Structure 1
Amino acid sequence: MASFVAALKSQDLEGIRRFTANGGDVNGLISPQSALEIAVSSKNVQIVHHLLNAKAAVDFQNVKGESPLHIAIQQQTGREMIELLLEGGASPTIKDYYNQSPLHLALQLGQQDIIGLLQKITTHVNALCKAAESGSLETVKKLLEERPTSVNSYSEEQVTPLLEATSQGHLEVVKFLHQHNANIECMTLDSEITPLSVASSRGHLEVAQFLIEHKANVDTINSYSQSALLCASAQEQFPLVKILVENKCDINYQNQGKISALDYAIINQDYQMTKYLLEHNANPNLPCNIPTLMHCFHHSSINSELVKLLVTHNANLNVLKSKMEELKETNRELYAWLKNWK
């Protein structure tokens, strides 16, 4: 990697070619920049072209949220560089952390020679995403035939065509996009939600199955610290919970609030999901802010069957000490069962 960095900084194209010919990863982070950003900043069109051919992530954002296209416009690298990035699938509307897109920057800087080009591609990507969202396969085919590299571009809503198709469960569109090199691990730019998490939360079982069959990561965490399993369990999507568990997701993952899939199942009073998770080694005693067993008491009526289910799967009874006197008055049957269990 050190030789690659040195070659980049010295603009040594042959050194870069040797690195990629030997299987080097051009997307390894060269803190705080990507290789493509360094090449764009150096205004070296040949190196940028080579990196794009080597599958450099064209929309990779640096610590300021800037993409290589942002950098190219800021540094006025010229139309040839801009066109090269756009041909590689760069998104004109991807926003940095100051809510500025490359198109906004071009307008501010008065770069008239590229504004029209950026606007044209923006219109195309927006139309492609809308077609994917509506499930119009023929329109998607037509638009991708016009500009194949739009397949992974972001619309003004900061989503890709695959994310839009997944959100509505359009399996045939999802399949077509995948066949045409859609990135199965693409994320929403505002919250880092993957297609699999979208499918999991919305109950699109066939789409989720397809994504998993094509190597989607079942444990990717979004910016809300939710995994696909947490998304599915929170939205009571039991079939999605099953397929994720069957594909060896982390069943005991907890978000930043120390909530697990088992917690969500109990909060939703979903007996079957709770039973399934426990039978597949969900831990009812994970370190947490609210003990899992106590979630059974967060409703107007206590779900006795859930309490019994958890206790028979080794939930820590000590957390119920503060509830026993209350149960003695409000639920004598459960109180007696717990006393006998002890």
Structure 2
Amino acid sequence: MATPSKWKRPRIAEHLCGDIFSHSLPHVSRLIDEFLIEGLHSDTLKEACEQGAPVSDLDFVLARCAPSWDDVVKSAAKGGYVHVFQWMEGLENMRGPWGFVDGWEGASKYGHVDVVKWMYERGYPCRDAKEAMRCAAANGHFEVVKFYHKKLEFVAGSAASGGQFEVLRWLQMAGASLDHVFKDAVRGGCMNCAKLVCEESTQPPAKDVSIWAAITGKLEMIKWLYEEVRAPFDNNTMDTAASHGHLDVVKWLHENRFEGCSTDAMDGAARYGHLETVKWLHHNRSEGCTIRAMNETAANGHLEVVKWLSANRSEGCTKYAMDPAGGGHLEVVQWLHEHRSEGCTTKAMDAAAKNGHLQVVQWLHTNRSEDCTAEAMNRASQKGHLKIVRWLGKNRPEGCTKWAFSCAASKGHLEIVKWLHEHRAEGCTTRAMDTAAAHGHLQVVQWLHTNRSEGCTVKAMSWAVEFGNLDVVRWLHDNRSEG
């Protein structure tokens, strides 16, 4: 169990005005601290989480530092305060920490069974159940060990998917049910684990167990599922094996099973560049492929597969082949231009501009007639590709919209904001300063204030407060009237 919080928030007001002022007017004291304390060391958040600071103080510290979330989670696990983990979970759509994989071992090592229970109930994965249990046992935390023992099936699933046979066998001997971990064992690719689970389980194999074996590409596992387990197979098994390039599995299924495959097999193999698998399917199976094969392998830049499909298959492709290839695969674009007649659409140059591929943009401009749209400069501005924005402005007539300015501002691309201001007439809206403030780009906010007349709305301060950008809040308060 976590001890009462020992956390003391960094304070300036009480040093300036004395303890009596701080205790008698705590709300005023806090406002003074918020105004005067502009930055804190990243270790401060680690200390706050480890010592169980209240949520209001956690927010206060987070707004003033740039933490390493892996270290923060480890510190929180050491401290063992559930409310700290709940606070971090609430941040997952904004600033972090995006998972508590490092929390299990720490909470187990320091005996915080409440944190262990909370992570289990919330469904957070345990990277190494064996190590987590070992940490609890080695440090004498019996309550944690007992919890793990009650949840042996959960631990067994982790052991099976991780190929930890000795741990799995120990869990089974300790009373863990293995009824629902067969898929985990197959997915982990450990034959000994899979055989143990199969021997002890009272449940029939799941319908998709052969598909998981096909993903791993373990031919021995596939044979065993067929010969000993009598697991269900369907054409998705060969489709999956082909998509992952496991040609030996594809061949075995072809020779020993009757389900065959679908066009998804060659489509998938082509998509991921498995040329030898594509060739084998072409010569030995009759299902063929669809236009997705060339479209998607082109999109992924697999030029040799594109060439082979064009020479040996009749399905061809569509404009979609060159459109996403415009995202950077210049050799594929050039080959399609020279050897295919489908062409492309404006999406090709738009995509190349968005993803920062200036050479592709220039080549399409010189060699193709489809042109682009205002989305090219809009998206290049959003992504911060100043060279492309400049080039498009000089060489293309499409221009952009007000959206380009707003997006560049929201992402903090000040140099692009300046260029658009100096070279384009589209301008912007209040959304530019509003979103720049929301994302904490104070320099952009200040520049817009000085150089543009659109201003902002009350959203600027509201969003800056919501996302903890207090330097922006202070500046808006001092320099803008919107409130």
With structure 2 as the length reference, what TM-score do the two structures score? 0.33
**Structure 1 or 2: larger helix share?**
2
Structure of higher RCO (CA pairs closer than 8 Å, 6+ residues apart): 1
- Give TM-score, length-normalised by structure 1: 0.45
Question: Which is higher, the Rg of structure 1 or of structure 2?
Answer: 2
